[in-house]
Structure 1
């Protein structure tokens, strides 16, 4: 595995570099809630996961992305995917995006911990000046989740992307800056310590 691939380890979540062997279980995770049917997401379906993988690996090869498979450590179960993307090392910026979780794991401790792991590595190891989040104008749940992290809304990119179905997407952009990171980190750690899904998840058989 290339030396620039990284693994991030939390109490509940394990983020491993994407591998071809993960695809079957990723497809099962996406089927929990039929996530690809949400028109404002880019979650792969059983019919598109092969092309999704090829595009993800191409971005990684070009050093434009780091793609992770998210695993529930307790169950050793693949539950979703996330990545660093739009990586701009010259300007010390990147985006955290293409994030999705099986419906069973949404609104749980996992998203908070994954974001804490990714942001900590971005700001404290990669020395980023800014970390960006982008989402579809119609994805209200995603916008609220990003705001709960402590990111601030930068604005809306109008007619930003032409999607595979022909729809022209407006993209909402958020960011966290380097000087804001200590406060955001403390907020995420507090949320993890108070998240009821943390203790209830650990008690499940």
Structure 2
């Protein structure tokens, strides 16, 4: 899977595109909100942590280990947050959708649903994946409900799985969607989206 040629993913509501260096000021304006990072292993709370995030993103592109998309609200042209493909196993035809965060203004707005549709459609369509994984903090009930709402199946909890930025050991809950499940999910969960 080449990250050099992944197309822009978009619909009428959202554009998912690669990170650009000129995004840094806009990111600094929206990413320093503490609530965003409560359930994430890392955080952005200052300029140094933002620079570390940028390095992780660019290294992911270079190594082909993670492809980070910037989430752009098409109505305003403003950045709303970020999401990624990662933990990619080409031989197994498997990848994870995650590392998703949205600024306060966009949480609960439906924008994330559009992002997940575009990412799932691309993963099962163009990328020909057999399995898409999602995971999150077992304490993050909002995220867990959202994953179930998009048709993902909860698979279980890995206890004391991830060290968090505040020193807490996170229990991580895993979800998945399989290729065989995608046509039904596309018709039911995302049936109101243009095909």
Q: Tell me if both proteins adopt one fold, taking TM over 0.5 as the criterion.
A: yes
Over 3 Å counting, the alpha-carbon distance change for 1:107 and 1:191 in structure 2 is farther
Answer with 39-48 or 78-87: which moved more. Answer: 39-48
Quick one: distance in 1 between partners of 2:62 and 2:171? 28
Quick one: distance in 2 between partners of 1:27 and 1:165? 21
Quick one: distance in 2 between partners of 1:27 and 1:17? 17
- Pairwise CA distance, 1:192: 4.9
SS in 2 for 1:60: helix
Counterpart position of 2:183: 182
Over 3 Å counting, the alpha-carbon distance change for 1:15 and 1:53 in structure 2 is same
| 1:37-52 equivalences in 2 (<5 Å) | 38-41=37-40, 42-47=42-47, 48-52=49-53
Counterpart position of 2:171: 170
Counterpart position of 1:141: 142
Counterpart position of 1:65: 66
> Retained in 1: the 8 A contact 2:157–2:173?
yes
Counterpart position of 1:200: none
- Pairwise CA distance, 1:126: 0.5
> Retained in 2: the 8 A contact 1:112–1:192?
no
> Retained in 2: the 8 A contact 1:85–1:95?
yes
Structure having the higher helix fraction is 1
Deviation digits for residues 3-42 of structure 1, max 9, x if unmatched? Answer: 33431111110011112211221222224x5434x42124
**Residue segments in structure 2 that go unaligned for 5+ positions in a row:** none
- Pairwise CA distance, 1:87: 0.7
Deviation digits for residues 41-65 of structure 1, max 9, x if unmatched? Answer: 2452333111011112212221111
SS in 2 for 1:75: coil
> Retained in 2: the 8 A contact 1:43–1:100?
no
Counterpart position of 1:201: none
Quick one: distance in 1 between partners of 2:190 and 2:138? 28
Deviation digits for residues 179-205 of structure 1, max 9, x if unmatched? Answer: 000111123323558xxxxxxxxxxxx
> Retained in 2: the 8 A contact 1:159–1:170?
yes
SS in 1 for 2:190: helix
TM-score, normalised on structure 1?
Answer: 0.86
TM-score, normalised on structure 2?
Answer: 0.90
Over 3 Å counting, the alpha-carbon distance change for 1:92 and 1:11 in structure 2 is same
Q: Do residues 27 (structure 1) and 34 (structure 2) align?
A: no
Counterpart position of 2:158: 157
Aligned CA-pair RMSD: 1.8
